[in-house]
Structure 1
């Protein structure tokens, strides 16, 4: 079975589509029988949204508003995705933190990216916000875990809180990222760790220069992070 293609005119939940049959993207370890035996440390135990008891609180805390369907199940804020189930830690919104680190200035500036071990693409060294953790703390923690760079004494510029086109998203679970910009006088030593295969400084005088450098290195920029990086570089060019 392949992922259902969602035409633009049918993505909105308000548009009826009786034939819609999304692909179940739930991995084996998050299936009900597997969760009954063992709950992975990175995920909640609820096998379906029916088992979640705090939807009102989750909706109140959401960075991007969302609603529930007639079953009481969460609906992706941007509409149908072509996938159902869950391949993320929580049903509904999953908060992430993405620190965009720039070294240098002007046309000579560089950006710190990692090679993700799940999709082997170049990405911002970020990750999920832990339960009870604030986004600013998650920005510092994720950066340090994945690159060894400690910016705990730096004050970042929060750029936004955005839905990102994460490859794991479904109709019932999605990612909202808090992205922040850190600007350093020059690049610093970065060493890949945790779920990063590599940590690399790339030329970032412009978005075109960055994408050319990544392509020349035989790598690919993670599409979900492109808008976040483009916004950061645009901000620096103002």
Structure 2
């Protein structure tokens, strides 16, 4: 991945003038204009720039997190400048994801189900993108089942939030907003990694410190974008 320019906190806001801003294009080869003319990946839309998107009003109206567009009509990341331009996600603008946070047990005996992602080799919530025509509750169940074989279709989760997440593929004009939901089980169940998960593990999660210690002891790393989602789930349980 190309080196990304640092965006100082005082220049992140789109309303702040920064004439010298020169974000790095992170578009992978398969999403470049010439490649899209030959073949559009099954997971992506065929628009090579936001100019080719015709339903911006609908996308803004249905967004989990409100966003604006610039003078060209291009979508702007709700959190401001990222240091990246182009697209390394399926859609321009908001890409909706679903993140099921599954916790079993209580107190210091709590366990959290995480997968090892095959793209970044880090421990993460077993979630993923909402498919076209799908709604978040269905995506939560589907992603969990596809990646861990755990079927919680008969459980009603607690929706914890709908937020932009700090996904490694984000850019100024394409980002991820996730519906995160908490599933609470009385005890752990068998989980088997599948799809784009290399492993599925129940980690001690009596606290964030306990979780991070356990992950480090296993020689692994927690995906940074999911840390605040997990911390919020544990805080909810501690209330």
**Alignment TM-score, normalising by the size of structure 1:** 0.99
Which residues of structure 1 form unaligned runs of 5+? none
Q: Which residue number in structure 1 is paired with residue 184 of structure 2?
A: 183
Matched, 1:222 2:231: no
The structural deviation recorded for 1:3 is 1.2
CA distance in 2, matches of 1:42, 1:59: 21
For 1:5, the equivalent position in structure 2 comes to: 6
**2:19 aligned with 1:28, yes or no?**
no
Give runs of aligned pairs for residues 143-162 of structure 1, distance below 5 A: 143-162=144-163
Q: Does 2:46 match 1:84?
A: no
Q: Give distance in 1, aligned partners of 2:12 and 2:103.
A: 36
Q: Is 1:53 the equivalent of 2:54?
A: yes
Partner Cα distance (1:74, 1:160) in 2: 22
- In structure 1, the partner of 2:109 is 108
Cα distance between partner residues in 2 of 1:4 and 1:50 = 25
Instruction: Report the Cα distance in structure 2 between the residues aligned to 1:2 and 1:218, rounded to whole angstroms.
Output: 26
> Alignment RMSD, CA only?
0.6
In the TM superposition, structure 1's runs of 4+ consecutive aligned residues that sit over 4 Å from their partners are none
Which deviations, in whole Å up to 9, do the C-alpha atoms of 1:178-212 show, x marking residues without a partner? 00000001000000000000000000000000000
Q: Which residue of 1 aligns with 2:140?
A: 139
SS at match of 2:230: helix
TM-score (norm 2): 0.99
Check if 1:169 corresponds to 2:170.
Answer: yes
Counterpart position of 1:201: 202
Q: Distance in 2 between matches of 1:229 and 1:89?
A: 25
User: Match for residue 212 of structure 2?
Assistant: 211
Secondary structure, in 3 states, of the residue corresponding to 2:227?
helix
What count of residue pairs does the alignment treat as equivalent? 238
Shift of 1:2: 2.7
Partner of 2:177, secondary structure, is strand
| Corresponding residue number in structure 1 for 2:15 | 14
Query: Partners in 2 of 1:94 and 1:3 — Cα distance?
Result: 21
Residue of structure 1 equivalent to 2:38: 37
Give the Cα separation in 2 of the matches to 1:65 and 1:111: 31
For 1:127 and 1:172, how far apart are their aligned partners in 2? 19
Give structure 2 stretches of 5+ with no counterpart.
none
Aligned residue number for residue 117 of structure 1? 118
Q: Does 1:235 align with 2:220?
A: no
Task: Please state how far the C-alpha of 1:165 moved relative to its aligned partner.
Answer: 0.2
Q: Partners in 2 of 1:165 and 1:3 — Cα distance?
A: 14
